[in-house]
């Protein structure tokens, strides 16, 4: 599904990603972890051809990301850092609009919209409410519904759990577990470790411009003997020596 080779990305003199090599196979749920500013969103934007690499290659579906055709992009679903919703629409109008872009038959589209709203939204009136009146969490849920409406083979989620209450996140986790199968790939960037652990099959860690870890979830947590957050902290290593210098605490 995804093949990244010797990828480097600079912003001016600042290197954000350096010599990244990563393969994500069909059927994997790959979660990319790292500190804020580690380059997770930059990597996703390179996957989506929103940014160009300074060196190296990014392939999706066996093609350079810059060479993907509309028919290829129809097999992708994305919830990005910027939700880019059309806020003048109601939730229903927006999903109808998205469904038509993906050429979903009308009867199928209406059934999927009804099912998604039934599952993710408590009040059916939200369906007809203008998106500009939605809360941040409601907008995130709507963006997620739009991303999976056409059942994409590759689902890319940038911080999908942020801004959502625990109940909604639990709904989303259950949905992702049901959605995942051997023919679909899910690529997640997230810092919500407790939720990532419930859905991931593979883990990658970005730190100081490089991919410093890349393995299965089971390997990452020592065959389940260590919690995900402890495993991550062992790699990122909080700077305790600097904390000791603060003598006024």
**Helix ranges, the chain (H):** 40-47, 70-73, 91-101, 106-120, 136-148, 166-179, 193-199, 217-220, 228-236, 240-244
pLDDT tens digits, one per residue of 195-236:
888 899 999 999 989 999 999 988 887 755 556 677 777 777
pLDDT of 241? 66
Determine how β-strand 14-24 pairs with β-strand 2-11. Answer: antiparallel
User: Residue 154 in contact with residue 187, Cβ under 8 Å?
Assistant: yes
List the domain boundaries for the chain: 1-69+154-160+180-239, 76-151
pLDDT of 37? 84
We find that the CATH architecture of domain 1-69+154-160+180-239 is 3-Layer(aba) Sandwich (3.40)
pTM: 0.89
**Helix ranges, 77-192 (H):** 91-101, 106-120, 136-148, 166-179
Report the C-alpha gap between 150 and 101 in whole angstroms.
10
User: What are residue 117's DSSP bridge partners?
Assistant: none
Question: Of the candidates 137, 48, 146, 35, which has an alpha carbon nearest to the alpha carbon of residue 93?
Answer: 146
Residues in the chain predicted with pLDDT less than 70, given as ranges, are 223-228, 237-243, 248-249
User: In degrees rounded to 5, what are phi and psi of residue 158?
Assistant: -100, 110
pLDDT of 48? 92
pLDDT of 227? 67
Report the C-alpha gap between 4 and 22 in whole angstroms.
5
């Amino acid at each position: 599904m995804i093949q990244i080779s010797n990828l480097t990305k600079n912003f001016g003199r600042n290197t954000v990603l350096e010599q990244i090599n990563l393969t994500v196979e069909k059927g994997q749920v790959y979660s990319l972890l790292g500190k804020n500013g580690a380059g997770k969103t930059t990597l996703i934007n390179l996957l989506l051809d929103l940014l160009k690499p300074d060196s190296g290659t990014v392939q999706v579906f066996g093609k350079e990301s810059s060479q993907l055709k509309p028919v290829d992009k129809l097999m992708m679903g994305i919830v990005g850092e910027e939700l880019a919703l059309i806020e003048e629409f109601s939730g229903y109008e927006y999903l109808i609009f998205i469904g038509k872009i993906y050429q979903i038959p009308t009867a199928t589209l209406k059934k999927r919209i009804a099912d998604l709203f039934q599952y993710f939204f408590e009040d059916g009136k939200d369906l007809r409410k203008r998106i500009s009146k939605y809360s941040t969490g409601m907008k995130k849920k709507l963006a997620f519904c739009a991303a999976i409406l056409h059942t994409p083979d590759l689902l890319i989620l940038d911080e999908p759990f942020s801004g959502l209450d625990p109940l909604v996140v639990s709904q989303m986790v259950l949905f992702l577990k049901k959605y995942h199968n051997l023919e679909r790939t899910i690529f997640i960037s997230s810092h919500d470790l407790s939720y990532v652990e419930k859905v991931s099959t593979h883990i990658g860690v970005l730190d100081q411009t490089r991919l410093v870890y890349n393995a299965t979830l089971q390997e990452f947590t020592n065959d389940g003997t260590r919690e995900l957050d402890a495993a991550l902290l062992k790699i990122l290593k909080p700077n305790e020596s600097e904390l000791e210098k603060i003598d006024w605490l």
